[in-house]
Chain A
Amino acid sequence: MKFVDEFRDAAAVRTLLDQLRGSVTRPWTIMEVCGGQTHTILRYGLDELLPREITLVHGPGCPVCVTPIEMIDLAIAIAKRPGVTLCSFGDMLRVPGSSGDLFDARAAGADVRIVYSPLDALALARRKPDREVVFFAVGFETTAPTTAMAVREAARTKVPNFSVISAHVRVPPAIEAILSSSDNHVQGFLAAGHVCTIMGIDEYLPIVAKFKVPIVVTGFEPVDLVQGVAMCVAQLEQGRAEVENQYARSVRKDGNLAARALIEQVFTFADRRWRGLDALPKGAMRLSDRFAVYDAVRRFGLAVPTAVEPPECRAGEVLRGVLKPPECPAFGTLCSPERPLGAPMVSSEGACAAYYRAGRQPSAMGETK
């Protein structure tokens, strides 16, 4: 596959690793923000290949992990209503809400379907005018424009039986929250290449200026990740703190202007919290007043439920990168991928699931830890 295979080339990765090894003189802690980046790191074992001085912390860049429980509860409540067809991305179906997940709701009779694109949900609404089709819109700024287009098209082509539960979230407030936290030890970030494909890179300039940490916008293939780490380490070693773009083949400085414009029209930034992270100012997106009629919450006259997250919950600390999953008392005992208690164990990109799997792997010495 073109523009994929070349960036998975083992020889290229080895060259980058050799250079990296020669350049690092001190321990550094770097966070990769995006779940897709975590996936690549785990899939290819890249963290094992990096010099020992470099610690990679898996950030909260997994919309599956950070969608607040109350939004899942809302989606389940709406799905259970007669006449409703709830459409969702596949990976959301197994995320536990307060009591069960969307799969459980389906088992109990709700019409829950997996879609690949919000446009598929809109097409379904057109095909089935007798159903209320609701799209559970999860994801970061990368996915928000896709929801925005579905909403705009529903309005433009007058599809009345379509609405959206907007659980979209924004990355920069989360990075600020992590850096502002008193127990933070992340020294550099690999920013999410596809989020930045939409939003551009300027949002990170004030963060870099305020916190003096390097931020390297990075892609998703092994070459991208190792190169992103190398660029970040170079900055750290040289005492620089800048925004750099490793993923220039997709990311432009201003991002995608058409997508950004539609996000502005269709969404309003809101102060909703993330799962495990307290109220992030402007951390979420809800539908703007102009498109309120397509907001499923308003259409069904529901209030967003308040779900209780006990203060003892450690998922938040894990998502912020300050607690290693094995340090959580429930890790591997009460909480495992088959019986997940929290989102970072549910998602295969979640930090807890990653550690769980890694803990049963052979180490570099060929022994199992």
Chain B
Amino acid sequence: MCLGVPGRIVRIVDEQGLRMGDIDFGGVTRRACLAYVAEAEVNDYVIVHAGFAISRVDPDEAARTLELIEELETQAGSEEKDR
């Protein structure tokens, strides 16, 4: 239902009283409204849906999700060796 794409804030501007940001999605930049992510600053990543940042991506949580999988990989590897 909700196409949301992560991008990096490269610039923050005020547009008609609204806090807006130029978001770099990796070669393409589009302006999005930052009113819902007051805590986000330049170089933070945000999830953008319909021209609005709806959350700031938590890099620690992202890393944790991936580490969990790496741990599984290591576990599986050592289980192999134990056989």
Q: Do chains A and B touch in the complex (CB under 8 A)?
A: yes
Of B2, B32, B54, B69, which is within 8 A of A227 by CB?
B69
For residue A3, CB closer than 8 A to chain B, the reply is yes
Q: Restricting to A6-29, which residues have a CB under 8 Å from any CB of B?
A: 6-7, 11-12, 15-16, 18-19
Contact A2 B50 (CB under 8 A): no
For residue B23, CB closer than 8 A to chain A, the reply is no
- Say whether, besides A16-B72, A248-B61, A117 and B51 are in contact (CB < 8 Å): yes
Total number of A residues with any Cβ neighbor in B under 8 Å? 53
CB distance from B56 to the nearest CB of A (A): 8
Q: Restricting to B2-36, which residues have a CB under 8 Å from any CB of A?
A: 2-6, 8, 16-18, 25-26, 32-33, 35-36
A3 and B26 alpha carbons, distance in the complex (Å): 11
Contact A256 B55 (CB under 8 A): yes
- Say whether, besides A153-B18, A223-B69, A34 and B35 are in contact (CB < 8 Å): no
Contact B51 A146 (CB under 8 A): yes
Q: Restricting to B30-72, which residues have a CB under 8 Å from any CB of A?
A: 32-33, 35-38, 45, 47, 49-52, 54-55, 57-59, 61-62, 64-66, 69, 72
Contact A227 B65 (CB under 8 A): yes
Residues of B with C-beta under 8 A to A250? 4, 47, 54-55, 57-58
Of A7, A117, A139, A256, which is within 8 A of B1 by CB?
A139
Residues of B with C-beta under 8 A to A369? none
CB distance from B29 to the nearest CB of A (A): 13
Of B1, B17, B66, which is within 8 A of A142 by CB?
B1
A269 and B26 alpha carbons, distance in the complex (Å): 38
Total number of B residues with any Cβ neighbor in A under 8 Å? 38
Contact B1 A4 (CB under 8 A): no
- Say whether, besides A4-B5, A142-B2, A153 and B76 are in contact (CB < 8 Å): no
Residues of A with C-beta under 8 A to B58? 248-250
Contact A249 B72 (CB under 8 A): no
Residues of B with C-beta under 8 A to A15? 69, 72-73, 76
Contact B52 A145 (CB under 8 A): yes
For residue A259, CB closer than 8 A to chain B, the reply is yes
A246 and B64 alpha carbons, distance in the complex (Å): 11
Residues of A with C-beta under 8 A to B17? 156-157
Q: Tell me the nearest residue of chain A to B26, going by C-beta.
A: A1
Residues of B with C-beta under 8 A to A46? none
Among B50, B58, B64, residue most surrounded by chain A Cβ atoms (within 10 Å):
B50
Binding site for A on B (CB under 8 A): 1-6, 8, 16-18, 25-26, 32-33, 35-38, 45, 47, 49-52, 54-55, 57-59, 61-62, 64-66, 69, 72-73, 76
For this complex, 18 residue pairs linking A to B, each with C-beta atoms less than 8 Å apart, are A16-B72, A33-B1, A34-B1, A36-B2, A36-B3, A36-B4, A63-B1, A117-B52, A118-B51, A143-B50, A149-B35, A149-B36, A192-B1, A195-B1, A197-B4, A197-B54, A220-B4, A249-B59
